[in-house]
Amino acid sequence: MSKLKKQFFCIIWLLLSSYAFLFAQENPEDIALADDKIESDFYESLKQRAIENYDKAIIAIEKCISIDPANPVFYHELGKNYLNLKQYPQAEKAFQKAVDLNPNERWYWNGLYDVYYQSKDYQKSIPIVQKLIEFDTNMREDLISLYMYTNQRDKALEQLKQMEKEMVLSKTMEFYKLKIQESNSFAKPEKNELERAIKNNPKEEQNYIDLMLLYSESNQEEKAFEVAKKLAEAIPNSDWAHISLFKFYLVENKGAEASKALLNALKNEKIDMKIKQRMLNEFLLFVVKTNTYEPELMQAVDYVSSDTSINSPLEIGKFYFNKQLFAKAIPYLEKGLKRDPENLNTVMLLIKCYESTQNFEAIARLTEDYIDLFPSQANLYYYAGVSNVKIANFKKAKGYLENGLEFLVEDHELESQFYIQLAEVYKNLGDQKKEELYLLKAKEIAKKRN
């Protein structure tokens, strides 16, 4: 046997043994090549498939099968070639033969799955994927997708609920869950059952709650509010009733009653957080429109602080900031910064609000804290310098401004402002030469910008 041929034989032997070693198959020596003829034909098949000559690859692998018809590796290789040619019946037959010969090999089952999936025979794919789950539990996502494709949403939901107990659902799985819950055909039996229960026993609060949650989970919040209205009529003291009462009070401009209903609803742990956030947003718009009930709004924000998906005080602070209501934005931005203390954008919004309200001492404190956290942010040094100039801490301002210049990168406008502030510092420190020097530097930068 030539040296080159020996090398090829080693490659083939390694390929076959990888089936055994990696996937708990027979030992490599159990997949012995009968003679040089099988070795040559198998190599030829691999070579032809590699260059996409699938017909020739099939001829070569069939020669191997004629010599060793009990070897599942050959049928697996045959199936892959038929699959490449999109000859699905022949591919199915070949992979099935490999499975019959060795049902403990995952990749033979996977070949069948590839056939059915590519040919869009999703119903046949399901039992194959159920088998594949025994090898890899991650295949449950494929099973759920197949249930969705075949409109077996009850089975998909059952799998989703089981997965939720064990892990965080992926975005695709969350999407499927939402689609199932939005489906009228899925929700209708449960909806009808709950409506009958409410009619038969109108004083049982849980039925109203379950129906509202059903609507809320499928983003039908208007219908959830309609159910809450019925609850308010049937059980006036119900916390859930405050959801609907809140909405009606807003329409009637009854701010005191609306705020009370809002706070009662926010305290209720059974109410979905999406509904709470919507109520909070509606109350915010009411407060802005009427310029009243700011303390109640602040109190309401505290009640939704457990919602880690939304930094509510920060969002309200941004809302006020964008409306240039800087004084109102400050307490919310401060709360938002406490929840996310490393958010530089929030720091900069607060600085601008403090600047607009002439609160330079607050800027000095804030920038001093955050320069340690963001030591290369030139903006922080600038505002630290400006604020200390405003409160007559000129030596401190000098240090911040001179240090900040080291972190400037291609920002001529900010550089000019640094020089202007340094000129002001040296003017107050009685150093006229440096004052003039920095004023000149500022003028030179201005010429470059123009």
**Domains annotated on the chain, with CATH:** 3-132 (1.25.40.10), 136-182 (no CATH), 359-450 (1.25.40.10)
Provide the token pair at 19: 């089936």
The model's confidence at residue 26, banded by pLDDT at 50, 70 and 90, is: very low
pLDDT bracket for residue 182 (50, 70, 90): low
Q: In this structure, what token pair is assigned to residue 330?
A: 């400050």
Contact 19, 105 (CB under 8 A): yes
Q: What percent of the chain has pLDDT over 90?
A: 45
CA-CA distance, 268 to 297, in Å (whole number)? Answer: 17
- What's the whole-number mean pLDDT along residues 71-80? 92
Q: What are the backbone angles phi and psi of residue 141, rounded to the nearest 5°?
A: -65, -40
3-state class (DSSP) for residue 152: coil
pLDDT tens digit sequence for 135-166? 988 899 999 999 888 888 888 888 888 887 78
Q: What's the whole-number mean pLDDT along residues 298-304?
A: 87
Tell me which of 54-58, 116-120, 247-251 is least confident. 247-251
User: How far is it, in rounded angstroms, from Cα 85 to Cα 81?
Assistant: 6
Residue 120 DSSP label: T
* Band (1; pLDDT cuts 50, 70, 90): very low
User: Beta-carbon neighbour count of residue 156 at 10 Å?
Assistant: 24
Q: 11-25, 63-77, 214-228, 347-361: which has the minimum mean pLDDT?
A: 11-25
pLDDT at 19: 36
Task: Write out the DSSP string of 380-397.
Answer: HHHHHHHHHHHTT-HHHH
Mean pLDDT of the chain: 84
Q: Is 150 helix (H, G, I), strand (E, B) or coil?
A: coil
CA distance 226 to 221: 9
